[in-house]
Amino acid sequence: MKAIRRFTVRTVLPEQLQPLHELALNLRWSWHPETRDLFRSVDPEVWAATGEDPVRLLGEVPAARLAALATDRRFLRRLGDLADDLREYLAGPRWYQSAGQAADVPLPAAVAYFSPEYGIAAALPQYSGGLGILAGDHLKAASDLGVPIIGVGLFYRHGYFRQSLDRDGWQQERYPLLDPDELAVTLLRETDGTPCRIDLALPGGRTLAAHVWKAQVGRVPLLLLDSDIEANSPAERDVTDRLYGGGSEHRLLQEMLLGIGGVRAVRAYGRLTGHPAPEVFHTNEGHAGFLGVERIRELVADAGLDFAAALESVRAGTLFTTHTPVPAGIDRFDRDLVARHFGGDTALPGVPVEQVLALGAESWRGGDPKLFNMAAMGLRLAQRANGVSTLHGEVSRSMFSGLWPGFDTADVPITSVTNGVHAATWIDPAVVRLGAAEIGADRAEAAMTTGDTQRWTGLERIGNTEIWELRRTLRAQLVDEARRRLRASWRQRGAGEAELGWVASVLDPDVLTIGFARRVPSYKRLTLMLRDPERLRALLLHPTRPVQIVVAGKAHPADDGGKRLIQQMVAFADDPAVRHRIVFLPDYDMAMARHLYPGCDVWLNNPLRPLEACGTSGMKAALNGCLNLSVLDGWWDEWFDGQNGWAIPTADTGDGVLDPESREAERRDDIEAAALYDLIEEQVAARFYDRGGDGLPHRWIAMVRHTLVTLGPKVLAGRMVREYVERLYAPAAVAQRELAAAGPAVGTAGVVGAAGVVGTAAEAGVVGEAGGLETGPTAVPHAGARELAAWKARVREGWPAVRVEHVEADCPDEAQELGSSLALRVQVALGPLEPADVEVQAVSGRVDESDRISDGCLLALKPVGGPDLDGRTRYEGSLELCRTGPFGYTVRVLPAHPRLASPAELGLVALPPEASGMDAGLLR
């Protein structure tokens, strides 16, 4: 009989055990081994049965056991010490507080971090893959460093799917219902105790309402919006049903709730708790892009700004991070669908629907005018943007170059911050203990937290025997876990217990173990290793140097192509001849990963280059002494050094994107698979089994030690978050403050843009003759934003008249000597603009056969005198010839303003007519 209503009955803990609730509701337990050990000691069997989830543990542990613990003085002493440790962790100063004291200007009071998914712990399944795990690691590292971040996301009642296999190896999905009362979350409530509610207007007079659940991630609050509440109709209740589910409108509503509703949730949280308002908003991928639209609405309503000035203020304090290396990975919606949700009776006050549509327009050559592009909106709403590895930064600049026409790809204002992983989450405790035995526990903890390279010094002294014994222990743990999971999988597939005796001999703790686990889109090439099945069998069954492989991964529920790849892998692994050497483990999640990364000797990654934005799974493996075997893509492209693993050669076809059915794609995969087999046989396995007289593989151990010492501090999320703070958050906060500060009205023809509407400035009595603005007795709020918007409008209007009319240099025809210089003279027509509005630059450097400049050097030319009779201004400068060989130069004119984050920000540039070939400025 089915219940008509479901609810949770919570355990009442004895008073002495009340701190257990405090520890269970702060997700720091997920990366704090001592707290996890405490919960395990409450009842080891229940701890294992509940998936190592403290909240569920406390709900299921027998009352008699709790009563016994309430009188156990040793347990109570441990409990008190850990509760005190948590309170000290939450309240004490950390890196950010020390950095703030040393900074010339205050660091951001708070940062709001928006992401569609978060991988904090397996007990809070709100993630699907790398994007969510990265977001979770970002919050954890921010907590460890004391960075005042507020996380914002959605609460999915079904999370992402759980994976199993049918008898034929076809992926099956199920979506267990998540009860928030059984999770480490609490409901955000108003002061009168009622749930805090966030409302969004929808077409047809409907309302999308949401409650806000708060997960406490160490020091960081994570706000998760939940639409499954009684105030909503069934359709609206399902908006947050599952991660990345539903059709186009369903996804749009999810992203509106994340962006617009997320900002409103942040405001409510600040109002109810006194948390400082964020000065910087960081959107992790384009899914949350509508947060900028909501912040524009706020400024129009609360500060009296027009759209243009509000846009500038919002952009100054916004950072956009892209994780997507291909246009197909970007969310795009039908333009009419977006118009319906942002126009008419659902329009946001002060935010015209035409302006919203313009933010997401694919206005570049080859773009689709019928689509609304979330990444384009994210970039237009953010003054700062980044990719997630050095190579991905290059890929992103190329992919989004259409937003900055006329600029070389290198000038596109997208930087990069290479991802990192949260060490305390992903390092096996045995690895930590080994390191702590050499450099001390406090120093080991600081090394994992801060990414300070010096704190890792000393690990190189760890002995060969200790390293090798640790690696075998971790490998044996993985073998046990793989056998347990494999048995459970076969039972789900319909096998009887009597059929599964062979599982006890699957894998071997003394055999070279390769791991491959990730999502299963086609570009990650799960089945590349199956390209030559006989060659793979020979590697697995080699009589003296055998290899074993552990494989895991999920395909998107709608991706039948990915499911077919999994089925092919399972079919191969089911073969009785090799099933003791290769296994596919279904339901890849954080719980599995905790065993998989430490237990593998080699981590395999063979995507199509350059389609892997970063690829952090190899980082987690490296932290445990696992060596990487990877295509030079993502982070591996910048940190592979020849001693920390192996690089799989690539059959470069230009852009890496080929029709998978094409002859070129077939040939590429054949070549790269053959290279992979050769590497495994001739280098990887050969080195692993090359033993000295003491039975140890000394050269292999040297690579493991080198990986731990050199890659360890680089791959940390602590290093990543520090880079975000220093390079992006802090400058964004400064820019936001400058534009938000009150000041005298400045400019002409109306402070708020070309329309000439003065608004607040006029009310302050600062309008001079002919609409000019003068300093008055009353400061104008957001004066910097108003001035910058007016300046941009003026520059855009006048830019068509800006021209480079003449370039000359004192340069004879013959070759020039290194170290000599050229006197450049340039005539520039500025039209209605002033010299202060622009910068005239000489760009010089080595040129290729088509006269394209590479690694260009910039020289700012200086204006000489005023405009001549023809209205032209002369600029001069001395160009140093600093390189030998083919050398060239050109000149360009760019908008210049002290509040621009990049000269390319406006997408405006004026070049000489001959600049496309650069013949006039070529020196050989």
pLDDT in tens, 502-534: 999 999 999 999 999 998 988 899 999 999 999
Q: For 106-127, what is each residue's pLDDT tens digit?
A: 999 999 999 999 999 999 999 9
Structure confidence at residue 772 (pLDDT): 36
Q: How far apart are CA 40 and CA 113, in angstroms?
A: 32
Q: Is the pLDDT of residue 322 over 60?
A: yes
Angle at 608 between CA 604 and CA 613, to 5 degrees: 85
Q: For 677-731, what is each residue's pLDDT tens digit?
A: 999 999 999 999 999 999 999 999 999 999 999 999 999 999 999 999 999 999 9
Structure confidence at residue 814 (pLDDT): 59
Strands of 743-820 (E only): list them.
Answer: 803-809
Confidence band (pLDDT; 50, 70, 90) for 765? very low
Report residue 19 as tokens: 């701190």
| CA dihedral for 662, 663, 664, 669, sign (positive or negative) | positive
Residue range 74-85: mean pLDDT, rounded: 97
Residue range 772-780: mean pLDDT, rounded: 55
Q: Determine how many CB atoms are found less than 10 A away from the CB of residue 659.
A: 8
Structure confidence at residue 771 (pLDDT): 33
Residue range 293-297: mean pLDDT, rounded: 98
Q: How far apart are CA 566 and CA 466, in angstroms?
A: 37
Q: Is the pLDDT of residue 411 over 50?
A: yes
Q: Are strands 186-187 and 207-217 parallel, antiparallel or unpaired?
A: antiparallel
Phi and psi torsions of 449, nearest 5°: -85, -45
Q: Is the pLDDT of residue 7 over 80?
A: no
Structure confidence at residue 124 (pLDDT): 94
Q: How far apart are CA 133 and CA 115, in angstroms?
A: 11
Q: How far apart are CA 64 and CA 72, in angstroms?
A: 13
Q: Is the pLDDT of residue 455 over 50?
A: yes
Q: For 630-672, what is each residue's pLDDT tens digit?
A: 999 999 999 999 999 999 999 865 555 555 567 888 899 999 9
784: which residues sit within 8 A by CB, 6+ positions away?
738, 739, 740, 741, 743, 899
Q: For 856-867, what is each residue's pLDDT tens digit?
A: 788 899 999 878
What is the four-CA torsion angle of 72, 75, 79, 81, rounded to 10 degrees? 110
Of all residues in the chain, what percent carry a pLDDT higher than 90? 78
Q: How far apart are CA 225 and CA 240, in angstroms?
A: 8
HEC letters along 490-501: HHHCCCCHHHHH
Q: How far apart are CA 494 and CA 122, in angstroms?
A: 26
Q: How far apart are CA 422 and CA 137, in angstroms?
A: 5
Confidence band (pLDDT; 50, 70, 90) for 774? very low
Residue range 546-564: mean pLDDT, rounded: 95
Q: Is the pLDDT of residue 917 over 60?
A: no
Confidence band (pLDDT; 50, 70, 90) for 852? confident
Q: For 51-69, what is each residue's pLDDT tens digit?
A: 999 999 999 999 999 999 9
Q: What does DSSP assign to residue 421?
A: B
Structure confidence at residue 134 (pLDDT): 97
Q: What does DSSP assign to residue 431?
A: H
Q: Is the pLDDT of residue 748 over 70?
A: no
Spatial contact of 477 and 599, defined as CB atoms under 8 Å apart = yes
Residue range 725-748: mean pLDDT, rounded: 87
For the chain, give the mean pLDDT.
90
235: which residues sit within 8 A by CB, 6+ positions away?
none
- Cα separations in angstroms, 719 against 136, 185, 411, 447, 863: 15, 28, 26, 10, 43
Closest-CA residue to 389 (of 594, 602, 640): 640
Structure confidence at residue 757 (pLDDT): 28
Residue range 837-851: mean pLDDT, rounded: 84
Structure confidence at residue 756 (pLDDT): 28
Q: How far apart are CA 896 and CA 488, in angstroms?
A: 64
Q: Is the pLDDT of residue 39 over 50?
A: yes
Closest-CA residue to 731 (of 387, 381, 270, 382): 382
Polymer length in residues for the chain: 924
Helix, strand or coil, per DSSP, at residue 630: strand
Structure confidence at residue 751 (pLDDT): 32
Q: Is the pLDDT of residue 764 over 50?
A: no
Phi and psi torsions of 186, nearest 5°: -130, 150
Q: Is the pLDDT of residue 211 over 60?
A: yes
Q: For 335-388, what is each residue's pLDDT tens digit?
A: 999 999 999 999 999 999 999 999 999 999 999 999 999 999 999 999 999 999
Q: Is the pLDDT of residue 773 over 50?
A: no
Closest-CA residue to 378 (of 311, 253, 287, 313): 287
Q: Is the pLDDT of residue 458 over 80?
A: no
* Rg (alpha carbons) of the chain, rounded to whole number: 30
